[in-house]
Amino acid sequence: MESDNSYQNLLTEVNNFTISYNDVGEGKIPVIFLHGFPFDKSMWKGQLDSLNSSYRLIACDIRGFGKSTDEETPLSIDLFSEDLIAFLDKLNIKKAIVCGLSMGGFIALNAIKKFPERFEALILCDTQCIADTTEVKENRYKAIDQINRDGVSIFNEKFIKSVFHPNSLTNKTELVENLSTVVFTNSKEIIIAGITALAGRPETCSSLSAIGIPTLIICGREDSVTPLVQSEFMHEHIEGSDLKIIDNAGHVSNLEQPDEFNKYLRNFLNSLDSVSNELGNP
């Protein structure tokens, strides 16, 4: 992952906070990229660099993260999806393709459930539709207690190790360091607010069958945070969806294997263009 210094940080106020975003390239239907917890929009730089000559690509910092600072409002996936719709409204975007990784996928699924008319296609990366089990919730609250007691460093370090494939941890040290810098930029308050949002998220599995738009699911084969079986479940329940599995990747497949990830993304976006052209859409 390279640092995010080649795109402008645009700012706009939506839903009572200032959202920071990159908006590059041109295309009929913009692709909105939603990052995972506790990262920021810079995690999509490899995708923006690779695809901006063909598509309009927008990567935003979710409320509280990156440069979209907000340490006052209690965070939730419901709020993030409302922010997303307000953001689309502000940019005058009637319909978008949404691409979310991990927490970004939770937001995408939540938004599509509530506002299906606003989306043209869906890309779910290393994510899942289930809510936290009681055990997982308890573990999250234990993590919050530990952060309050000992500080955020232990949690961050453990989390960073958990998102990468073992080979990435050994061979892609610069990538690991860069992501680590992003994670450590968050305040303790935002890490806690983010964990609370994840723990409280509603399930979206029961609405998968209602998703009637083209859907691409991408998952690292060794994703230990949202395991492959979760992507397979979504694939089975979203009619017509396509599942791509990336070898030698963990939970951040777009960072660990960007070429393969971008190939699947590009093919999917091209396939949408073909369908649109066949239907004679402008």
Partner 1 sequence: MKTELELNEMILVVTNKIRERDPELLKYMNEMPMTVPHQENPEISVKTLTSYYESLVVLFEEYENNHAKSLASNKV
Residues near partner 1 (CB under 8 A) are 3-5, 8-13, 18, 25-26, 90-92
Closer residue to partner 1 in complex, CB, 96/125: 96
Closer residue to partner 1 in complex, CB, 86/228: 86
Rounded CA gap, 176 and 261, in Å? Answer: 18
Closer residue to partner 1 in complex, CB, 30/46: 30
Within the chain, how many helices (H) and strands (E) appear? Answer: 11, 8
Q: Identify the CA nearest to 180 among candidates 210, 209, 160, 155.
A: 160
Closer residue to partner 1 in complex, CB, 68/81: 68
Least Å distance, CB 18 to partner 1, is 6
Least Å distance, CB 154 to partner 1, is 29
Rounded CA gap, 27 and 182, in Å? Answer: 29
One-letter identity of residue 83: D
Least Å distance, CB 24 to partner 1, is 8
Least Å distance, CB 13 to partner 1, is 7
Closer residue to partner 1 in complex, CB, 8/162: 8
Least Å distance, CB 178 to partner 1, is 13
The first and second tokens of residue 45, run together, are: 């730089």
Rounded CA gap, 44 and 211, in Å? Answer: 25
Q: Tell how strand 17-24 and strand 57-60 pair up.
A: antiparallel
SS3 148: helix
